[in-house]
Amino acid sequence: KAKDSGRNCGLVYSDKWDNSARERLKLQHELFRAIRNREFVLHYQPQYRINSGRMVGVEALVRWEHPERGLVQPKEFIPLAEDSGMIVQLGDWVLEEACRQNKAWQDSGLPAIPVSVNLSLRQFMHQNLPGKVAAVLKGTGLPARYLDLEITESVAMDTADVSRHLSELARLGVGISVDDFGTGYSSFLYLRKFPIDRLKIDRSFVRDIMHDPGNAEIVAAIIAMAHNLNLQVIAEGVETEDQVRFLKRHRCDEMQGFFRSPPVPGDKIAEMLGKEASGPYTSG
């Protein structure tokens, strides 16, 4: 296996999974096997209320614990899982596992917070998505208000199926967030038409808030628009105290990013939630 030597991280691995049909087929096969062998794990990134500093949610982010390559990041395999259709099976597992884990935290007495799950277009368009979500909630016992689904602007296009799925999900009581907001070149009409709860400002705008006046204006405008539409707004990729101050000044509701915490394994979240419950922020 000389050709594998010296490669132990996903970044390098991606060079080898080039776009040739053979390589793609191989990856597809590996993904299929990985789902069967339960090689995927979820990490969770905390989301914080900006004013209180409290943890108010977590986003589930999938990783592949590859037997030889170690932890592989989603950008290495999500696009191929999407193209091959495998994202539907992988996504089913993510949804179920995130709900199961959240219910387990709650059952162990930790403060109840929603878990956000990313849905790609293909998963969202799946004929029976609302039925699937309802079944997972029922099966895991997680109350619907503790599940939030993240869709992108490409999903939020105005089609009859999208409209039907979103209203059925809203009727179940799950939250809907628009991920990577501002990068999708789409009309904003859907924000009024669809039952959306929250906008997630894309990291690319947040990154340059302090140095690029244009991006600062965009972030301020998104926050104002969200509030005028009665939507919550969360900033992604918050890495510095200056960014937090800017977001606070512009009344952004929530933040997520390395400044407070990267994505971490589930047991670490339990530990953090436990500290929150007994820490300075608790009202009881």
Structure tokens at 91: 């996504």
User: Cα separation of 27 and 23, whole Å?
Assistant: 6
Report if residue 118 touches ligand C2E, rule: CB under 6 A.
yes
Question: Are the C-beta atoms of residues 105 and 273 closer than 8 Å to each other?
Answer: yes
| Segment lying near Mg ion (by CB under 5 A), choices 34-42, 101-109, 201-209, 266-274 | 201-209
What residues contact residue 135 under an 8 Å CB cut-off, 6+ apart? none
Number of residues that bind Mg ion (CB under 5 A): 6
Which amino acid does the sequence have at 72? V
Specify the stretch interacting with Mg ion by CB under 5 A; choose among 125-133, 140-148, 197-205, 225-233: 197-205
From the list Mg ion, ligand C2E, none, which binds 101 (C-beta under 5 to 8 Å, kind-based)?
A: none
149 vs 147: CA distance, rounded Å: 7
254 counts as binding Mg ion under rule CB under 5 A: no
Which among ligand C2E, Mg ion, none contacts residue 263 (Cβ within 5 to 8 A by kind)?
ligand C2E
CB of 1 to ligand C2E, least distance (A): 27
Of the two residues 61 and 226, which places its CB atom closer to ligand C2E in the complex? 61
Q: Nearest-CA neighbor of 59 among 242, 193, 198?
A: 198
Residues in CB range of 166: below 8 A, 6 or more apart: 176, 194, 195, 196
Token pair of 1 as six digits: 């296996």
Q: Report if residue 188 touches ligand C2E, rule: CB under 6 A.
A: no
Binding residues for ligand C2E (CB under 6 A)? 45, 61-62, 73-75, 78, 87, 91, 94, 118-120, 150, 179-180, 203, 236-239, 256-258, 263
